[in-house]
Structure 1
Amino acid sequence: MASQENKDRASTAAQLTSDIVRLLRKGAGMTQEELAAQIDYTGSAISALETGAQPANEKMLDRLEKAIGCGMGIFTAAKKYVRLDKYPTHFKDFARLEQQALTLCTYQNFVVDGLFQTEEYARALIGGGYPPLPESVVEELVAARMARKAIFDREPMALIELVLEESTLRRPFGSRDILRGQLSHLIDHSERRNVSVQVLPMDRGLRGQHAGARGTMQLVQSPDHRMMVYLEVQGISNLLSEPAEVTRHFHRYAKIRAQALGPDESLGFIKRLAEEL
């Protein structure tokens, strides 16, 4: 009964993976202990996997591929779905879109966008949130966030734009050393040919116009060239696809980008901030 309850609580990807492992293991005439010994895990770990009590991590999937994958690449393919399971529920739909996006444009006014975060910055940010999370959950979320960076080197190449409020570059999480490393990371990314990083100065409002006053947004173009907008606040998200709504947000983003410093000027600005820390 407990076994069935575990499986019912597990995600669809975890359930499918556990079923495939069990079927392939039995097809190979192996016990759980025999498979465990072959991939350097314990029998209880294989049991937990097959009952849904503990989903496989990427390391286990790599070893399962070699042991019982039969050269099909089935467990390698499963990794991206298992990785999606680690994201917060409200972010999963957008995470799928982000992986395949042709164009990704983001405006952030409180923290550096997750796609551009260093591991240390992400850990300080996630681990310092409220309510507090168990250390194991923090590490899973950090790993999932770092995995998103594959988009930077993906083929076909994605066009990625980031507009950051100046305040995000001055707000430390964890320590000033972490912030210094984060600024250096932004500098490195801004020099990629498919990436632009721009800074919206804090005194922009003194000029009587500030298009970013309504908060953050992420704009995405899908592989079939559909345009969508992702909005998130307090763990609640909204993915907009209605053309009039999307157009309104794209126009607002275009104005935010126009009000920001240019890419070269922004790069110099970030470098000066890093030197000041």
Structure 2
Amino acid sequence: MTGGRMTAAAFLVAELRRARMRRGWSQEELAKAINYSPSLVSAVELGQQPPAAKYLELVDEALDSGGLFGRMLAELVSLDKAQVWLRGWRAILDQARALRWFDPLHVPGLFQTEAYARAVFEAGGILEPDEVERRLTDRMESQRVLYGDRPPQVVAVLDEAPLRRRVGGRKVMCDQAAHLARIATEHPRVRLHVVRSSAEEHPALNGPFILATLRDGAELAFLGGQIGGQELDRREDLSRLQQVWEVTLGAALPPEESIELLREVAESWS
């Protein structure tokens, strides 16, 4: 609900539940018919997880609804500004199968050292000490996803400028650049690229973004911001960001050259 009115996303969720019940099926029976888990069917009907287009295609077929739910997703839900199933960044991270990440402003959070992250949060003295500690703890805990049972495949593009900008002192920057080079060399599911500062203007410089592919097949994007972040799943938005990603990746150095640059940066700060 938003402003006292039901959103299209909430209406879709409610109609999915009603259609299943009219058929006389339990969530387990629907799950069996569409070859998904009962827990996923439950999460969709509770508005905890967005239904992928493929999921709705199978539901439409199983319930003989003539493609109604697929059309609702494509034509109505995409217009919602407040979808019921917004996940939040940590949930996206935990559910991700693959991440494509660009940040022209800082080292991406997944790869920040504790000292670098602390310096970012303490910059300007805007945040209270307890808020700095809360954010720092959250940042460090989020990195565990890289070392869990099912780490996502991560391709990250960094701009060279943040690697040259002093954050927290020379040792902090030296350690951060060395950490990036080490991850890029040793982690089997992480690939890092660097765009040299001498590269020409490219569209990704408009701001940081992440493209995520989740384990349930959903595709979405996350835009960073001064106050929280913004989640996007409209096809038009994803298509635009994918184009921006391709252009940016094309402007970046290949992995081996990027690692050499990271080592060079680390040496310059030592």
State the TM-score, normalizing by the size of structure 2. Answer: 0.65
After superposition, the C-alpha distances for 1:29-63 in whole angstroms (9 at most, x for unaligned) are: xxxxxxxxxxxxxxxxxxxxxxxxxxxxxxxxxxx
Between the aligned partners of 2:242 and 2:255, the Cα distance in structure 1 is: 19
Which amino acid is 2:101 matched to?
Answer: T
d(CA) in 2 for partners of 1:234 and 1:140?
A: 17
Task: Quote the Cα distance in structure 1 between the aligned partners of 2:252 and 2:217.
Answer: 26
Q: 148, 173, 186: which is aligned to 1:154?
A: 148
Letter in 2 for 1:239: E
Q: 2:157 aligns with which of 163, 166, 175?
A: 163
Aligned length: 183
Pairing 1:40-189 to 2, within 5 Å after superposition: 93-129=88-124, 131-133=126-128, 135-189=129-183
Distance 1:271 1:147 in 2: 26
Deviation at 1:131? Answer: 2.1
Q: Pick from 237, 241, 247: which aligns with 2:233?
A: 241
What residue identity is the alignment partner of 2:90?
A
Deviation at 1:136, TM superposition (A): 2.5
Gaps in structure 2 of 5+ consecutive residues: 1-85
Structure 1 distance, partners of 2:230, 2:267, is 38
Give, in angstroms, the shift of residue 244 of structure 1: 1.9
Amino acid at match of 2:220: M
Name the CA distance, whole Å, in 1 between partners of 2:156 and 2:111. Answer: 9
Q: Distance in 1 between matches of 2:189 and 2:124?
A: 32
The amino acid that maps onto 2:155 is: E
AA matched with 1:224: D
Q: Deviations over 1:7-48 (max 9, x none)?
A: xxxxxxxxxxxxxxxxxxxxxxxxxxxxxxxxxxxxxxxxxx
Whether 1:267 and 2:267 are equivalent positions in the alignment is: no
* Change over 3 Å in CA distance of 1:201–1:137 after alignment to 2: same
Partner deviation per Cα, 1:137-172 (whole Å, 9 max, x = no partner): 212211110001111112223101110110011112
SS where residue 128 of structure 1 aligns? helix
CA deviation vs aligned residue, 1:179-206 (integer Å, no higher than 9, x gap): 111111101111211001110111111x
Determine if the alignment matches structure 1 residue 201 to structure 2 residue 196: yes
Matched residue of 1:239: which SS? strand
| d(CA) in 1 for partners of 2:124, 2:111 | 19
Q: Which amino acid aligns with 1:219?
A: L
Give me the whole-angstrom Cα distance separating, in 2, the residues matched to 1:276 and 1:193.
Answer: 27
Is 1:255 matched up with 2:250? no
SS of the residue 1:167 aligns to = helix
* Cα deviation, residue 237, structure 1: 2.1
CA distance in 1, matches of 2:199, 2:258: 14
**Aligned equivalents of 1:171, 1:116: Cα separation in 2:** 16
Deviation at 1:236, TM superposition (A): 4.2
Structure 1: distance between partners of 2:131 and 2:224: 21
Equivalent pair of 2:104/2:205 in contact (CA under 8 Å): no
Q: Deviations over 1:84-134 (max 9, x none)?
A: xxxxxxx9712111112000111011111111100001111101245231x
C-alpha distance in 2 between matches for 1:258 and 1:190:
18
Runs of 4+ in 1 over 6 A off after TM superposition: none
Point out which structure has higher relative CO (alpha carbons under 8 A, 6+ apart).
2
Partner amino acid for 2:102? Y
Taking every aligned residue pair, what percent have the same amino acid on both sides? 26
Give the TM-score normalised by the residue count of structure 1: 0.63
